Amino acid sequence: MIISKSKIAIVFLSFCLLSCLKPISYPNEPIIEYVSFESQSDSGKLTFSFTDGDGDLGLDQNILTPPHEPGNFYYYNLYVNYYELMDGEWIRGTADPLGNNSPFADSITYSYRIENISSTGQNKALRGGMDIILEPFYFNPYSTHSDSIKFSILFIDRSLNHSNIVFSPTIVR
């Protein structure tokens, strides 16, 4: 009987201590950190971690009202930009089939609409990791000038708060 009471007391004290812990808090703007890049044949997997204090990351597919309507910048909430090293300088890579980086060619940007990943508990703060598959190519198949590339990542929450921009290290393809 004494052993049972002491076990109950230990369990009760454990619950008391756990209930006194402060909830995790992060800034309301998403904060991201580069984690890794992995080549998968022609495609690539870019991994980053994130935090968000108010937990408003991701968009439901039925949210199509301004500013989240198709054609608007905020329709997507994750942007990955592609850069190439040319003559010692990083420039935005372009999808230029002639390979001469014409100013009229489109910059290579991978745009994603990440699904709602909000938490349902009392503490809305989010912390996690995300893998992004860059396909059909993680590199510019038209580029003949550079074998060194890197990516920048920007994440946007539903309150339109922009994350910090992080860059991958140099990737030699």
Residue type, 142: Y
Q: Most distant CA pair in the chain: distance in Å?
A: 84
Domain 25-172: which CATH number of 3.40.50.720, 2.60.40.2550, 2.60.40.10, 2.30.40.10: 2.60.40.10
Cα(166)–Cα(155) distance, integer angstroms: 10
Given a cut of 60, is residue 21 above it in pLDDT?
no
Digit-coded pLDDT (tens) for 35-66? 999 998 889 999 999 999 999 999 999 999 99
Residue-wise burial string across 43-61, b where 16 or more C-beta atoms lie within 10 A, e elsewhere: ebebebebbbbbbbbbbee
The predicted structure's pLDDT at residue 173: 79
**Domain coordinates in residue numbering, the chain:** 25-172
pLDDT band at 95 (very low <50, low <70, confident <90, very high): confident
Question: Which pLDDT tens digit goes with each residue over 110-162?
Answer: 999 999 998 777 788 999 999 999 998 898 887 877 789 999 999 999 999 99
- Entry pTM: 0.81
Strand, coil or helix: what is 58? Answer: coil
Q: Of 152, 150, 81, 154, nearest to 114 (Cα)?
A: 154
Rg (CA), the chain: 22
Report how far residue 103's alpha carbon sits from residue 96's, in angstroms, rounded to the nearest whole number. Answer: 9
pLDDT of residue 99: 54
Whole-angstrom distance, CA of residue 15 vs CA of residue 27: 28
